Structure 1
Amino acid sequence: MLAFRLTPAAVAAAIATTVATVVAGVGLVLPATAQAQSEVFLCPGANGVPEYKNNGNTKGCRKLTLQESVTIPAPRQPAARSGSAPVSPGAAGGGAFPRIDSATQRTRDSERRGVLERELSDEEGKLAALKREYNNGEPERLGNERNYQKYLDRVAGLKEDIARSEANISAIRRELSALKE
């Protein structure tokens, strides 16, 4: 296991560099008048922890001189070769993207439909069981529910489970209706 020990000066330098980067990044967004007014002060805080502030009103604060931000231009797009067909926006990821024949796609769609139908039947069975247990808002009390609040909590949980199950069923039906025939 490696252990690193940093001196307080190294920590302060790393923090100052980070602050400089953040302030420089913010400076790119702010108008020029706000850039001229942005100053960062390093002030002693509680228990010797340094604090960074935008005003130097506290005793012992010193103004930090921040470096200019470095901007890197975006890479140039390769120029279109003469005689080549223009690239469509959808093909920007590369022309070698594999195509799937229609028979394979139909097989995948039918498998997906089967999975969704199984999930729908499972969810409908779960909903029916929850509604039976819920008993129109008056489920039977269990032996460990001597405390009435436990019973009320279970009833509320059942109600939430029923709502969640109904939402799942409607989502699965939406997915099934969106599938191509």
Structure 2
Amino acid sequence: MKPTLLILCLTAGTTLGASAQERIYRCGNEYTNTVTEAQAKTCKLVSGGNVTVVQGQKPAAAAPGVKVASAPPASSAPRIDSADQKAKDSDARLILETELKKAEARQIELNKEYNNGEPEKLGPETRNHQKYLDRVSELKAALSRNESDIAGIRRELGRLPGSSSKQ
């Protein structure tokens, strides 16, 4: 937004002295009351209702027309030494490897239950074939979800530093 003028309220009946009496131009998301600037940017005149504006404050170090981006101080981010980072990486690797083993074990169980698309019928499914078909489709979806989980875990393991991607 323009640092010189900000719109705080667009209300129908509120005015703040003379600043609400000036012509206000809208340039996208910025507002200005400078005619030459409005003409240069092809801004539109704001009409209808009262416009309340508040005078903004200019940054002390900024030159007119120069945008200054505020960056966080360099010392605000704590530095992590390499030993701590290696420990964190090894912890992350251990967690991912554990999750991979769980997902692979789950995949084996699902494959066994799925039985190449012909799982054994359970009690109520002998009388209601639709229940059986629903369970088969749920098993198939669970298999594909678990396969994508395994692939994602392997990708994450491959992204870790010093990875010896075992697949």
Alignment TM class, shorter chain as reference = 0.5 to 0.7
TM-score between both structures, scaled by the size of structure 2? 0.61
Q: 1:152 to 1:66 in 2, by over 3 A?
A: same
Unpaired runs of 5+ residues, structure 1, are 1-15, 19-26, 37-64, 81-88
Q: In the alignment, which residue of structure 1 is the partner of 2:51?
A: 68
- Separation (CA, whole Å) in 2 of partners of 1:171 and 1:72: 52
Q: Which residue is 1:128 aligned to?
A: 108
For each residue in 1:41-94, what CA deviation from the matched residue of structure 2 results, as whole angstroms up to 9, or x when unmatched? xxxxxxxxxxxxxxxxxxxxxxxx522253664763x639xxxxxxxx9x9222
TM-score, normalization: structure 1? 0.57
Q: Identity percentage over the alignment?
A: 44
Q: How many residues are treated as equivalent by the alignment?
A: 120
For residue 141 of structure 2, the aligned residue among 160, 165, 173 is 160
Give 1 or 2: higher helix fraction. Answer: 1
Residue number in structure 1 paired with 2:120:
140
Extract unaligned runs of 5+ from structure 2. Answer: 1-9, 13-25, 30-42, 63-68, 163-167
Distance, in Å, in 2 between the alignment partners of 1:178 and 1:101 is 20
Indicate the SS of the match to 2:124. Answer: coil
Structure (1 or 2) with the greater strand fraction: 2
Q: C-alpha root-mean-square deviation of aligned residues, in Å?
A: 3.1
- Are residues 29 and 79 of structure 1, via their aligned partners in 2, closer, same or farther at CA, if it must alter by over 3 Å? closer
Q: 1:174 maps to what in 2?
A: 155
Q: Indicate which of 63, 67, 79 corresponds to 2:61.
A: 79
Higher relative CO (Cα under 8 Å, sequence separation at least 6) belongs to 2
Deviation of residue 96 (structure 1)? 2.6
